[in-house]
Structure 1
């Protein structure tokens, strides 16, 4: 897309790289660039500093209608809903609405391996990247929905031989639909209810995810988790070559074998891993199957899996102190994620720190898991916690046990003080909020960083 001479408005500078990359790319392409963000200048100072020296105008702490009327192209941050009245105003005045990831796809000469899903996409993406990088051969880069990575800024180092591993959110995948493009290789981990404060229902959310394979040709390759109903269905619909992975069936298999009467399951899977939980076995199986289909030898794959210790903020054990194991699972922003985090340590003595603000998702079996497996529970105040507290009381009565909740706190440090005081040698102190970080923190990464900093200072 030629942006030379265009008036480009970047809507959403943010702190994680996407807005910065879009602004830098547009300026380097010769566009006249403005950036607008509702966050205040002092919050966005690191991002503004990262763009110093470029001819970019900043309008921070507000959105102005005049900027959206001015723009020829608006590059919206993934967190900005399509229904924003500012975007509608820009469209009414002839502007094109784009997203950073679409600009990247249109300009990228390398082979793109895209990974999406409600849970597990970061772990799966990172493991695929590590396997490909460790093997050598083709150069490989990692980008997309990865905190701190400016994906557009990767373009100068990408050639036709480069393997490009991209974690893709539902919002980013929306940006591909107008251009009818999907990655050459698509991986879907699972679909659970999420972002229902943005989407009308799970069907609309799932359809956004489906853009990862919808526009593949018959030569495209897609790998789906057979054990999740949504991704199984999508695997049946995908237009290209399809493989399924299944922990329940103990391996992976081609879609064609489902109709051939002789289901041949390849039992290449791992339990020799530092990662905890069944969900991580699903992630590993998806990553290793993808790597094998890309021609990576089994032994090279196995060596990487054995030493892969996961990703920060995702069930990451970062310290053992006085016999207590501290686990940072701050990217747990849904009840499903909260339940999975607890179940990864079932049978251990768990002291849980959870809570936050709601995305209007069903609690489902999370309260049951909390009461069943957690000895003590400390909660952070928020609209989601307001939903969880009565559900935990009801669940405790149903299980005929005492309610494990030890308090609800609006001060993070006070909550941490109480949580640590409840621990004993041998315990798991699990920080797995199950809700969003809005209000108390900048984002889930800031939330996790504050937790880790507190524990490291003990």
Structure 2
């Protein structure tokens, strides 16, 4: 929608084409009412791709799309919204990417910068924000925090542009259904720093092998953060600035990694330690990411619906010491399960699963771990109806337990997306 609005406002002749039906897209079409935009909905027509001089590709559309190929064959420029934004943005851009933690890190950087009094905006891969629509508010003094996915970062490569401040949280296997392998996926992420200038700034998590390697390759002024080494340090320096901002309501070691990245970035941008410490203390995290929904009958209900990969499911389990009733499962992205089944058997008293292709991979792996550890089987059932699944799990929960909703897989089929899945879970818990 933002791309269509922006292109029309710039005076382009705009056609929007989407495979979804006019009924599903009616609210979006209504929001663009009054602009000279033509809509071709429920189909893609080859003639539109032969007609176009510029095609703005949505992040979910792969480069291999036959329609993208057709447009390229007819001389069209293929663009992405985030590249159009960076080309036109007069402010200083702080870009954040990574497999896990980018939303939390970006949100915390935004809150710290706002608390410092700087004119700050947030956009990119953020639900409900039209990034291009932010442009009229941006001056050269504005700090613009952008959460950037691998797909969005692909759009920067043709222009050889990167944000002037780049932050990389970690790289784990993900989206391997759309990339040829880990190198391909990681290289898309690397666009965040590849085209920086020598006086630009980059911050990397030293404790992750991929981001450590990228930190050695970055052309700008580079800093590392490391929980293992207790702070942050400049590349090629032995002096570690100690990690001091640890008074936080957020659970889990991974959130300490996110906080260390955010606070180091804020320090490099000149924010005082007092402002940083107060912002960290106040920061409650973001929805759907180990979100503490409420306590009912002595049970803490945690919404971790943004957990769409096994490594995210594993990290969620490692964030709690109390007995866990886990609701998990969904559809696979064909990612390695790693140590997740082992952690499930070690840490969960009861496990309820949502049916799906990922669950079909996970259950045998849990049974293998039960055998290997000589432990009791925590699996209590597999459900095709999520309300029945939650009801069964609620019956199993006791005072002092953590009720953890952390699917570890995608939600396709049962929910619109992970946010819809999390919203439904939160609504269920609020009604208990």
Map of 2:207 onto structure 1: 227
Map of 1:260 onto structure 2: none
Q: Determine whether 1:423 maps to 2:397.
A: yes
- Segments of structure 1 that go 5 or more residues without pairing to the other structure are 1-19, 258-262
Q: Determine whether 1:317 maps to 2:292.
A: yes
Please give the alpha-carbon distance, in whole angstroms, between the structure 2 residues aligned to 1:371 and 1:358.
20
How far did 1:404 drift?
1.0
Map of 1:46 onto structure 2: 27
Please give the alpha-carbon distance, in whole angstroms, between the structure 1 residues aligned to 2:24 and 2:107.
29
Q: Determine whether 1:210 maps to 2:190.
A: yes
- TM-superposition CA deviations, 1:404-432 (whole Å, max 9, x none): 11111111111111121211112111111
- TM-superposition CA deviations, 1:342-368 (whole Å, max 9, x none): 1101x2111111111111100010101
User: Which of 392, 400, 418 in structure 1 is aligned with 2:366?
Assistant: 392
- TM-superposition CA deviations, 1:350-387 (whole Å, max 9, x none): 11111111111000101011111011111111111111
Q: Give the TM-score normalised by structure 2.
A: 0.98
Please give the alpha-carbon distance, in whole angstroms, between the structure 2 residues aligned to 1:57 and 1:371.
55
Please give the alpha-carbon distance, in whole angstroms, between the structure 1 residues aligned to 2:377 and 2:107.
38
**Matched pairs, number:** 432
User: Which of 298, 301, 312 in structure 1 is aligned with 2:276?
Assistant: 301
- TM-superposition CA deviations, 1:40-93 (whole Å, max 9, x none): 333333322322222222222222222222211111111111111111111111
User: Which of 34, 48, 72 in structure 1 is aligned with 2:15?
Assistant: 34
Determine if contact 2:293/2:429 at 8 Å carries over to the other structure: no
Please give the alpha-carbon distance, in whole angstroms, between the structure 1 residues aligned to 2:29 and 2:305.
26
Map of 2:167 onto structure 1: 187
Q: Determine whether 1:155 maps to 2:135.
A: yes
What RMSD in Å do the two structures reach over aligned CA positions?
Answer: 1.0
How far did 1:253 drift?
0.4
How far did 1:318 drift?
1.4
User: Which of 67, 81, 92 in structure 2 is aligned with 1:86?
Assistant: 67
Map of 1:353 onto structure 2: 327
Map of 1:5 onto structure 2: none
How far did 1:110 drift?
0.2
Q: Determine whether 1:63 maps to 2:44.
A: yes
Q: Determine whether 1:286 maps to 2:266.
A: no
Q: Give the TM-score normalised by structure 1.
A: 0.93
- Segments of structure 2 that go 5 or more residues without pairing to the other structure are none
Map of 1:146 onto structure 2: 126
Q: Determine whether 1:338 maps to 2:319.
A: no
- TM-superposition CA deviations, 1:203-230 (whole Å, max 9, x none): 1000000000000011110000000000
Secondary structure at 1:256 match in 2: coil
Q: Determine whether 1:76 maps to 2:57.
A: yes
Secondary structure at 2:326 match in 1: strand
Please give the alpha-carbon distance, in whole angstroms, between the structure 2 residues aligned to 1:55 and 1:396.
62
Secondary structure at 1:210 match in 2: helix
